[in-house]
Copies of this chain bind each other. A is one copy, B any other.
Amino acid sequence: MSEIYNRVALIGLGLIASSMAYAMRRDGLARTITGTARSRETRDIVREIGFCDEVFDTAAEAVKDADLVVLAVPIGAMEALAREIAPHLKAGATVTDVGSVKRAVIDAVGPNLPNTVHFIPGHPLAGTEHSGPRSGFAELFENRWCILVPPEDGDAEAVSRLRALWEGMGSHVEMMEVDHHDLALAVTSHCPHLIAYTMVGVADDLRRVTDSEVIKYSAAGFRDFTRIAASDPTMWRDVFLNNKEATLEILGRFTEELFALQRAIRTGDGDHLFDYFTRTRAIRRGIIEAGQDTDAPNFGRGKAK
């Protein structure tokens, strides 16, 4: 793989940025990688780990001369960050982000950037429940989707360079309209996260079942929820505050269907339950066929027969 950007600045040095740094280095996609983070502790850790060529104390310094600036901070921090870096961006540079909501990021960032840069919002659909500069790994984006949401009048060459970077890191890239992105992600990511958080919270509240029991018996289904519900609280707070409309719409539908299933349980309507559960099974098969998960019977734990 050959170099795509001369100088990449990573603003915010958590799971996504550190994984990008490892992936870009592995494949020589960027000549120089700079970075910065709000907390001194994070900056010191990254200086020690060394996945950036240089770590600066301020975003203004980090973006200087960068061809690509990646905003990898919680959505609530985007607007102030855009204002801070705007005077220091190189003309012709590309600015992108990795936020999970796109309309709110465009509204927060777009108006604050100079016309001399290309703003191409992005969203890599990849993550783990870990966060912080020590959580990154080069393979995070492999075989995962990255959605780009370029403006209609976006510079085609700038878009195709950014696309090449994500493909270089192993992702499949898809272009999408902003509001459609926010709705699709409310369904596939934001609402599942809120629901998982809620279920884990209920388990924690319930005094009649002890914490240690909840933990011991988690393999029976709950474990997958706790994995989701362990994701970064700041990031997720900002996702819900900034994708309010789509999230609330999907949660409304969810509650409606859950009530119908509750009623079926209460009234003993086994056919309703059976039909519902049969229908959802087909979706799982589609996901395995699409290569977004493995069909290994033991989920990769231990050896399969």
Contacts and interface: CB of A to CB of B under 8 A. Distances in A.
Given A192-B199, A253-B205, A293-B227, A220 B185 contact: yes
A221 B241 contact: no
A277 B237 contact: yes
A268 B222 CA distance: 28
Contacts of A270: 76, 237-238, 241
Contact of A189 (B129, B130, B222): B222
A203 interface: yes
A290 B139 contact: no
A35 interface: no
Contacts of A254: 198-199, 202
Given A188-B203, A248-B262, A255-B258, A229 B280 contact: yes
| Chain A: interface size category | 35 or more
Interface in A135-150: 135-140, 142, 144-145, 147
A91 interface: no
Given A137-B297, A198-B258, A216-B290, 9 more contacts: A145-B217, A187-B202, A189-B222, A202-B257, A203-B283, A229-B280, A233-B273, A236-B277, A241-B270
Interface of A: 22, 76, 100, 125-130, 135-140, 142, 144-145, 147, 174, 180, 183-185, 187-206, 208-209, 211-231, 233-234, 236-238, 240-241, 244, 247-248, 250-251, 253-255, 257-258, 261-262, 264-266, 268, 270, 273-274, 276-281, 283-287, 290, 292-294, 297-305
